[in-house]
Structure formats: structure tokens, C-alpha cells
Amino acid sequence: MQKILIVDDEKEIRDLIEIYLKSEGYETLKAADGEEALNILNREDPDLIILDIMMPKMNGIDACLKIREERQMPIIMLSAKSEDVDKILGLNMGADDYLTKPFNPLELVARVKSQLRRFYKLNPRVIKKEDNGKTINIEDMVINLDTHEIFIGDKEIKLTPTEFDILVLLAKNKGKVFSIANIYESVWNQEFLESDNTVMVHIRKIREKTEENPRKPKFIKTVWGVGYKIEK
């Protein structure tokens, strides 16, 4: 479930936005000013922020600048000011969209959906904890089960379909040791023949593509005399 942070000093507006977002299946977080929003960001990882400009303690412009120092999620700014100069300022400070109060909540929801679609389309490597099993993280490796993409940091790793299936089998069962026969029968759906070294060859290829030092692998570990595993 995608999570939206609503930042506005008017409780009625926070609550109204929350009602509409929850009706669309989003989880919400709420803050009354920029400082509270930054505190929430220290412990939460929202997919998008709705940020009012005129607030006490820390206004939306200053909060946006602070957020952009570390985060890249979409930000939609709200303001009672409709002048172009305010819109331009907000967008220049790092906002992705701008809506003038009073606004139609349905239009805000539409803009939220549009910004999220755009963000994840342009940033396929951004992996969310809320992806409900569509991605697997192993240290700095990210496996996207939908797109079959693998990234280690910013580097994309190209595996063959069979190599990908072996990696996913182990990654989905972290901590479990798979024998060579287990892997072969799970991936190839055929009975394993004792003399077949196909699995070992594929494991070696995966390590060559994913490891800085294939002789000392950090992802797929060898359990001597038993098989292979990815540690929890």
C-alpha cells in the first residue's frame, strides 16, 4: 500500500485530504508543519508528500528544500496564493506539482495518482517496502520480480532467464539450503541426474555477474557438502 504524507497547518484540510486518499486505498501520515514533517521522514518512507506552503515553524518552501537534500519522492505543493510567481518558486524549490486552494479533492487525488505513475515509471530502480512481494532485497541487490530487472546499487545486472530463476528461488527462501538436485528440479522441472553439473555452471555465472570477488561471494553462499543458500 502506497503511503502519502499530508502536511498542512489546517486540521480540516488534513482530514479532508486523508478521507479522499484512504478511499482510494492509500495509507496516510499527517503533519501540521514542516518541522513535524521532517521528524516523520526520519522514521517513515512515504511515496509522495502533499505540502502546504504557508505554515508556522517551518513553511513549505523551506521544508521542500530540506526534503530535497535527501529524498526524491514526488511533492505536490498547496497554496492559497494563485500568483504565477508563487507557483514558479515552489516548482523551482523542488516541487513536482502545484495546486491552489481552494481545490477539488478529486483533482488532488488525480494528481497524486499521476505523479506516482510518472515517478515509478521514470525510476524503476526505486524499490518500496510496500511492493507486496514484487521485489526482493539482498543487501545492496534489488530483484524486481515483475520486470526481471536486477540492480546492485546503480548498476543493472543482466542475467539469463535461467540464472534469474535460480537467484529468485534462493532469494525467496533466504536461510534455506538448497541441494544441487533441489535447484535443478525446481528450476528445470526435470529429474536431476547425479553427473549433471549444469547448476554449478549457472551458479558460477551468477557469481561472475553479481560479485566483486566471485571466489568470496556475499550473495549466494556455498554450504559445503550440502548445497547453496542466500543468508537471511
Q: Can you give the residue ranges of every domain in the chain?
A: 3-123, 133-230
DSSP calls for 200-214: HHHHHHHHHHH-SST
Digitized pLDDT (tens) for each residue of the chain, 232 residues in all = 789 999 999 999 999 999 999 999 999 999 999 999 999 998 888 999 999 998 988 988 899 999 988 888 899 999 887 666 677 777 877 888 889 888 999 999 999 998 888 887 766 556 554 455 588 889 889 998 888 889 998 788 999 888 999 999 999 999 999 999 999 999 988 888 876 788 999 999 999 999 999 999 999 999 999 999 999 8
Euclidean distance between CA atoms 16 and 123, whole angstroms: 30
Which residue in the block uniquely carries the three cell numbers 554449478? 200
Q: pTM of the prediction? A: 0.57
Euclidean distance between CA atoms 2 and 27, whole angstroms: 6
Euclidean distance between CA atoms 152 and 189, whole angstroms: 29
- Say how far residue 63 (Cα) sits from the centre of its chain: 22
Residue 24: C-alpha distances to residues 1, 2, 140 (Å) = 10, 10, 32
Angle of the 84-92 helix axis to the 60-68 helix axis, nearest 10: 20
- pLDDT of 120 reads 75
Choosing among 1.10.10.10, 3.40.50.920, 2.60.40.1180, 3.40.50.300, the CATH entry for 133-230 is: 1.10.10.10
SS3 69: coil
Choosing among 3.40.605.10, 3.40.718.10, 3.40.50.2300, 3.30.70.960, the CATH entry for 3-123 is: 3.40.50.2300
- pLDDT of 123 reads 66
